[in-house]
Amino acid sequence: MDAVRWTLWVLLAVLALLGVNGLWVLAVRRWYRVRTSEPERLKVRCQDGWELTVHVRRAAHRRFEEPVLLCHGLAANRYTFDFEPPYSLAHALSEAGFDCFSVEWRGIGHSRPPPRGRRWPDVTVDDFVAQDGPALIELALAQTGARRALWVGHSLGGLVGYAVAQGPAGEKLAGLLALGSPVFFPPDPLIRRLIRVGNRAAWPRGLRNEWLSRSLAPFLGYVTLPMSDVIINPRHILPPTQRKVYANMMASMSRNVLRQFQDWIDHDAFRSFDGSVDWRAGLAKLSLPVMVMGGSMDRLASPKNLRAQFELVGSPDKQLHVFGCERGDKMNYGHGDLLFGTGAPLEVHPEIRDWLVAHATPLRQGEALATQASAGPVSLP
């Protein structure tokens, strides 16, 4: 009887702790919510039935034909690019005259519910490449009346862009900018250990790490998380910004996506889930304009990594840009501070904007109004 009573008390204590933590997370989400105007929300259905949510910021005065596709990386969501100014590339580019489309990959944020017969744990990077990327391109082109789009991806978002550009949808891209995207995966004991721990923690479905990040968000800036230098230069991101990023931007990872990343890291590969398609080798066949960007102290996409992928890309129009003190920037850049570092609005955003402007088609004002008027209303209530 005592054992039963003890078990009951333990169960009640666990439930109470979960309840307190749930209230804590809700309070954190509200206190640290992103305070900016909500973007327009659109839905697009992929060929396999999965419905994606795309967050759109339209230019007040559209100057360019091509829309910009903003594609987030692993364990992130649309807040990667659509954050509070000045740390919002979507705001900066829409002010420059681009219509911006920030995707959330399947299983992430508002694109989370799977269709009947599909399961979130089964999602792989192959699905982003074969299904989500082409659907995003078609939506943006239909909404703007453009013939081609410009792709900007951070980390995994850049890798997906590289792979999409090698397929049938590649001819609908006017240019691709990969920001901190690690095409090569040389052995780093710490990163390998982290991905293996993540894989174990993700069994059997996936890693719901946004719950943990929101629980810890209020303490960031006062304490530095162990191994945080793998993903950011913590000295480059203001403490209030760190807290808001962790409270809003972190997202879950499916079991299969983590398994695919472990394969890439263990075998220094960038390939499909079954290994039949070598996307790294396909970079040599690219012909569209490519910009490779990254940070000088990024451990995931190091300068050596960036130079190697730049050399591999076959495009005649290609550029390489590494942000850091060596080229006169405010600080050395890690992985995440390419977007949220104090220098990003003054150093990174202008370089991205200028490259996009150089590869975009200017619109006359009458053309801009005509294409905007032709787009059908598909926004959500």
Q: Could you write out the DSSP letters of every residue in 225-256?
A: -TTGGGT--GGGS-HHHHHHHHHHTB--EEHH
Query: Region 261-287: what's the mean pLDDT?
Result: 96
Tell me if 320 sits within 8 A of 177, measured CB to CB. no
In tens, the pLDDT along 242-259 reads: 999 999 999 989 999 999
Side chain identity at 305, as an amino acid letter?
N
Nearest alpha carbon to residue 74 among 173, 167, 209: 209
Query: Region 105-134: what's the mean pLDDT?
Result: 95
Question: What pLDDT is attached to residue 193?
Answer: 78
Tokens coding 166 = 């090698």
pTM for the model: 0.92
Question: What pLDDT is attached to residue 103?
Answer: 98
Question: What pLDDT is attached to residue 227?
Answer: 65
Tokens coding 176 = 């691709």
In tens, the pLDDT along 34-49 reads: 999 999 999 999 999 9
Domain boundaries, the chain: 40-374
Query: Region 133-161: what's the mean pLDDT?
Result: 98
Query: Region 146-168: what's the mean pLDDT?
Result: 98
In tens, the pLDDT along 51-93 reads: 999 999 999 999 999 999 999 999 999 999 999 999 999 999 9
Burial 45-54 (b: 16+ CB within 10 A, else e): ebeeebbbbb
Q: Give the pLDDT band of residue 6 (cuts 50, 70, 90).
A: confident
Residue 316 reports pLDDT greater than 80: yes
Q: Mention every residue, 6+ apart, whose C-beta is less than 8 A from residue 56.
A: 39, 40, 41, 42, 99, 100, 101, 102, 143, 379
Distance of alpha carbon 32 from alpha carbon 279, whole angstroms: 38
Side chain identity at 297, as an amino acid letter?
M
The residue with greater pLDDT, 112 or 321, is: 321
We find that the CATH architecture of domain 40-374 is 3-Layer(aba) Sandwich (3.40)
Question: What pLDDT is attached to residue 380?
Answer: 41
In tens, the pLDDT along 161-200 reads: 999 999 999 999 999 999 999 999 977 777 777 778 877 8
Side chain identity at 260, as an amino acid letter?
Q
